[in-house]
């Protein structure tokens, strides 16, 4: 079954299509190929799995004979979300003779989507791009909402732009090849939507954790669609993160600090976010904002999805705290953290002091 969820932004509306077989379905691509130049950006894992499907469908679309098709394949992994890869994309676009009506297709996970989207935002001050997310994390989060960017040695996502895709094509068949650990990391972001805004969805996740881990197609499609609906609604109300969109960072200030402190090698982003959400819940309890039982339910749900619930003891609270202070969301007035009043009710708070944070980080 195919679902289509609209995302409304200042620049117009675009569709997020979710369902099996969408990548190879010519209908998914109708009206999306404005010019003659198309550059496919992917990584060396995903291109081997799904590059041919994309080639075949593009060959069936109107104008195929005149189209100039380029391809840029990067090494899989976060290290490719770099200035150097971005320069490679610009070179590939230049080699194609790409004009303002050229199109970039981002085929892959969040790394490819963020990078290719950023290059699309820059080329001739902005050309169209289509997100074809192939990880669960990219389907439920990074492909929707227009945040694009690259990392510098000094930090993640330090250079970026808001640039909305022309469409998102989430072919759920591609999840069949996703490594187990990547699937679980994506489920952490699904839990995030339930935790911040939707107590019914949280209960649904509790009941469907085994089905989700078993990749039951109906359960996965429902989890993706519900997540995308939440993201689309928040983006429609606060595209540039002036307020409410910040709630999507639940668990992320803690999580990013854990990722940075461990050199990005130890935890996947979703795993660090799982630990971070629990730290946010524990802090909320300590500040008497939220009941302890909701934190325990969150811990049980994340554990049932095979996600870590505590950071390694070797991570010193002071180190994590230092990284948290460098977070993009920190202001001169101090740390702004996304906490909760309990399941489904997130809020932004500056109430925690260093002693509270140290106590929570020390576990």
Ligand X SMILES: NC(=O)c1ccc[n+]([C@@H]2O[C@H](COP(=O)([O-])OP(=O)(O)OC[C@H]3O[C@@H](n4cnc5c(N)ncnc54)[C@H](O)[C@@H]3O)[C@@H](O)[C@H]2O)c1
Q: Which spans of this chain sit near ligand X (rule: CB under 6 A)?
A: 43, 45-46, 49, 76-78, 81, 108-112, 114, 134-135, 137-138, 141-142, 145, 147, 156-157, 174, 177-178, 182, 269
Tokens of 307: 């996600």
The token pair at 145 is 């909402």
Q: What angle do CA 106, 109, 115 make, to 5 degrees?
A: 55
The smaller minimum CB distance to ligand X, of residues 95 and 176, is found at 176
Question: To 5 degrees, how large is the angle CA 182–CA 115–CA 274?
Answer: 30
Cα 175 to the center of its chain, rounded Å: 15
Residues catalogued as catalytic: 125, 147, 189, 231, 241, 245, 249, 252, 256, 269
Least CB distance to ligand X at residue 167 (A)? 16
Provide the minimum distance between the beta carbon of 313 and ligand X in the complex, in angstroms, as a whole number: 26
Cα(295)–Cα(45) distance, integer angstroms: 37
Closest CA to 286 of 298, 295, 299, 274: 295
Min separation Cβ 155 and ligand X, Å: 11
d(CA 153, CA 235): 29
Q: Is the dihedral of CA 308, 309, 314, 315 positive or negative?
A: positive
Segment (H or E) for 253: helix 252-261
Sign of CA dihedral 289, 293, 298, 299: positive
Q: For residue 256, which of 321, 303, 352, 308 has the smallest C-alpha distance?
A: 321
CB of 178 to ligand X, least distance (A): 4
∠ CA 144-214-265, nearest 5°, is 60
- The minimum distance between CB 97 and ligand X, in angstroms, equals 28
């Amino acid at each position: 079954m195919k679902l289509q969820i609209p995302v409304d932004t200042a620049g117009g509306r675009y569709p997020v299509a979710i369902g099996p077989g969408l990548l190879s379905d010519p209908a998914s691509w109708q009206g999306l190929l404005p010019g003659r130049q198309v550059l496919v950006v992917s990584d060396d894992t995903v291109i081997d799995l799904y590059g041919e499907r994309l080639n075949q469908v593009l060959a069936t679309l109107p104008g195929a004979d005149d189209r100039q098709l380029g391809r840029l394949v990067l090494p899989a992994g976060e290290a490719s979300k770099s200035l150097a890869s971005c320069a490679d994309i610009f070179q590939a676009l230049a080699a194609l003779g790409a004009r303002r009506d050229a199109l970039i297709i981002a085929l892959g996970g969040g790394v490819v989507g963020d990078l290719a989207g950023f290059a699309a935002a820059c080329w001739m001050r902005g050309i169209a791009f289509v997100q074809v997310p192939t990880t669960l994390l990219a389907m439920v989060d990074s492909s929707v909402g227009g945040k694009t960017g690259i990392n510098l040695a000094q930090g993640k996502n330090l250079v970026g732009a808001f640039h909305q895709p022309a469409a998102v094509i989430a072919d759920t068949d591609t999840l069949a090849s996703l490594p187990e650990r990547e699937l679980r990391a994506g489920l952490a972001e699904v839990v995030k939507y339930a935790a911040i805004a939707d107590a019914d969805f949280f209960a649904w996740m509790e009941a469907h954790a085994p089905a989700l881990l078993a990749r039951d197609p109906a359960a996965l499609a429902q989890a993706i669609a519900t997540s995308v609906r939440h993201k689309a609604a928040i983006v429609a109300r606060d595209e540039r993160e002036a307020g409410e969109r910040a709630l999507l960072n639940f668990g992320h200030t803690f999580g990013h600090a854990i990722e940075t402190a461990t050199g990005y090698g130890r935890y996947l982003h979703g795993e660090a976010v799982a630990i971070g959400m629990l730290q946010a819940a524990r802090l909320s309890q300590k500040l008497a904002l939220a009941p302890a039982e909701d934190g325990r339910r969150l811990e049980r749900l994340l554990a049932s999805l095979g996600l870590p619930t505590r950071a390694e003891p070797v991570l010193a609270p002071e180190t994590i705290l230092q990284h948290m202070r460098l977070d993009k969301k920190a202001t001169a007035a101090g740390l702004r953290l996304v906490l909760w009043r309990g399941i489904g009710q997130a809020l932004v708070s500056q109430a925690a002091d260093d002693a509270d944070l140290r106590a929570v980080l020390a576990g």
